[in-house]
A and B are shown apart, each in its own frame.
Chain A
Amino acid sequence: MINLLLFPVLIPFLTAMILMFFPKKVHAQRTVVIIGLAGSVAAAVWLLATVMTDGIQAVTLGSWPAPFGITMVSDPLSAGLVLTSNLITLFIAWYSFRSIGEGRERHFYYPAMMFMLTGINGAFTTGDIFNMFVFFEVLLMASYVLIVLGGEKRQLRESIKYILVNVISSAFFVTTVAMLYSVTGTLNMADISAKVSEIGQSGILTVIAVMLILVFGLKGAIFPLYFWLPGSYAAPPVPVLALFGALLTKVGVYSITRTVTLLLPNDPGFTHELLMVLAVLTIIAGCIGALAYFDLKQIIIYNIIIAVGVILFGVAQMNSAGLEGAVFYLIHDMLIKAALFMLIGVIIAVTGTSNLREMGGLMKTHPGLAWTWLIAAFGLAGIPPLSGFFGKLLIVEGAFEADNLWGGVIILASSLVVLLSVIRIFIHAFWGEPQPIAGVSAKVYRSLFIPAALLTAVTVFYGVGTEWLRPVMTDAAEILHEPSIYIDAVLKE
């Protein structure tokens, strides 16, 4: 099966097309979405197993020889991320049944979701820098539809800014690709990497590196380019927010990781130093935001920014411990952010508000929700044996190995702030005097809570099962650390 690595990209795409034929039949839409996503998850599991046993999978579209056609590459990192994205989308689709509202379901909510998943999986899988731009546009177009779907005033207002920021960053992406093409004469990332190590890293390549960080930083929300994120992400309803928060910024982070390790490994002095400083500033800015708000959505949104900083700090260490930690933490963060957003969706549905000051005493009425929230919160902060612990441990280890003592200390301190910010939600929402709550029927509550709790269980498994997952992460980090493995796999013929 030479085309196996394309299945997780093609199945959501096909599902989206089928869904477009009958937008008004809500029940049929739900059934098809779940079948399509289940198929996609199965294909991703198969792909990951194949990558682990047979090594990196690569196919060049249209039977062109390797550096000339568009190459799709699946290494443990991209296969793992593809599997995680599919799994999260499956849970969020299930969660949407009761929370998104029939109005949106009739207006291409599920097709847009599937197109976005197509773009995300494609961006994770592609080995061609221009093709990455195309997949970015696919996922962005779908995200424009998702963010504005429903057409509330606030959504319209925020989506204009969201679109504007992304259109500008796309134009910068094209500019960067043009400059890269003029310097190296190729668009295949493996080929670029090989050519760069031949010609050495000249000044123009450093400029290109900074532009790449700028482009992906705008999508991945690093300091100071995260300004658009809190406002835009808070506008759409919770399932869309969960999808965006879990997946979209991580595509930017993955792209920074891939390009910085693959294209620019030769002169870490400038680019990696820059990336590290930006990562630390991102963490600090995120911490301030996470403590400053009394709005449930905003607190978790600022936690996205902190996580982006932590992952990029691990990448900037450029040693195997730091990179492995970054990979571990990246997948952990996708899962835990989806779980947290789904849980705050449940809290908002139960209390009817997202303002912490107006809620309280949920422990008495919804104890299951409270304990699940506590587990997810501890997982986010990285308390062993939950999922965030091992990744952060490796990142800090990498920082100490690379003599970035202060950076490691800031990462550790940020864990405390993260814990404080989510425990504040616990204290305000679950302890205290019970407030009059809007309430939802037990049936709706169950169908919202069960997917959220199951996803939290997945994160617990991710933490407890670290030992079994370790080989995948080690392989992924090794390929990031040694680009020659990637290059040989792509240009093998």
Chain B
Amino acid sequence: MEIIMSVIIGFLFAGAVYLMLSRSLLRVIIGTGLLSHGAHLLILTMGGFGGDAPPVLTDGVTDFVDPLPQALILTAIVISFGVTAFFLVMAYRAYQELETDNMKLLKGNDEYD
């Protein structure tokens, strides 16, 4: 199970890197989504799988899953939900204002050098 998960996480990271290197802003954002999914699955895998035991801790029960990774993932999911939503709003505003979603055209600094 750990090996399958590792491969899946690897694929997610690879896909995320591929998408983030593309020029379209929307694909970059989807890439960040994939990246955080990979990271969340990594927490789950690293916490150790407990089979089908419940994540409940009661006195006397010996067969349970460590509940902490799931709590961590829930927190991380909520955060990445918020950040992604904000990023999408930002990207949309930038697209309206700058009239492009091509990362190549978003380069440049109007500094005095």
Contacts and interface: CB of A to CB of B under 8 A. Distances in A.
Interface of A: 130, 133-134, 137, 140-141, 144, 148, 151, 153-154, 156-157, 159-161, 163-164, 167-168, 170-172, 174-175, 177-179, 181-182, 187, 231, 234, 292-295, 298, 354-357
A141 B83 CA distance: 7
Contact of B87 (A157, A163, A175, A179): A163
Given A170-B80, A178-B39, A231-B109, 6 more contacts: A130-B75, A148-B93, A153-B97, A153-B98, A181-B69, A295-B111
Contact of B90 (A130, A148, A293): A148
B103 to A, nearest CB: 8
Contact of A293 (B69, B86, B112): B112
A164 B75 CA distance: 20
Given A130-B72, A134-B75, A181 B28 contact: no
Contact of B46 (A170, A182, A354): A182
B25 A178 contact: no
26 contacts: A130-B72, A133-B76, A134-B79, A144-B86, A151-B97, A153-B97, A157-B94, A157-B106, A160-B94, A168-B32, A168-B35, A170-B83, A171-B38, A172-B39, A174-B42, A175-B39, A175-B42, A177-B72, A178-B42, A181-B47, A181-B68, A182-B46, A182-B48, A187-B68, A292-B113, A295-B111
A356 B90 CA distance: 33
A141 B87 CA distance: 10
A163 B32 CA distance: 10
Pairs of residues from A and B, 10 with the lowest C-beta to C-beta distance, nearest first: A182-B46, A174-B39, A156-B94, A178-B43, A178-B46, A355-B112, A171-B35, A178-B42, A167-B32, A137-B79
B98 A156 contact: yes
B97 A295 contact: no
A160 B43 contact: no
Contacts of B36: 167, 170-171, 174
A170 B77 CA distance: 12
A231 B110 CA distance: 9
Contacts of A355: 112
Given A293-B112, A354-B112, A174 B40 contact: yes
Contacts of A177: 43, 72
Contacts of A292: 113
B10 interface: no
Contacts of A159: 90, 94
Contacts of A178: 39, 42-43, 45-47, 69
Contacts of B97: 151, 153, 156
Contacts of A167: 32, 35-36, 83, 87
A156 B45 CA distance: 37
A490 B8 CA distance: 38
Contacts of B90: 144, 148, 156, 159-160, 163
Interface in B1-38: 20, 25, 28, 32, 35-36, 38
B55 interface: no
A357 B79 contact: no
Contacts of A354: 112
A234 B36 CA distance: 28
Contacts of A140: 83
B65 interface: no
A416 B90 CA distance: 41
A159 B91 CA distance: 10
Contact of B82 (A141, A151, A156, A172): A141
Nearest to A292: B113
Contacts of B43: 174, 177-178, 181
B111 A164 contact: no
Contacts of B25: 160
A171 B113 contact: no
Contacts of A170: 36, 79-80, 83
Nearest to B84: A167
A137 B28 contact: no
A161 B32 CA distance: 13
A304 B104 CA distance: 28
Contacts of A175: 38-39, 42
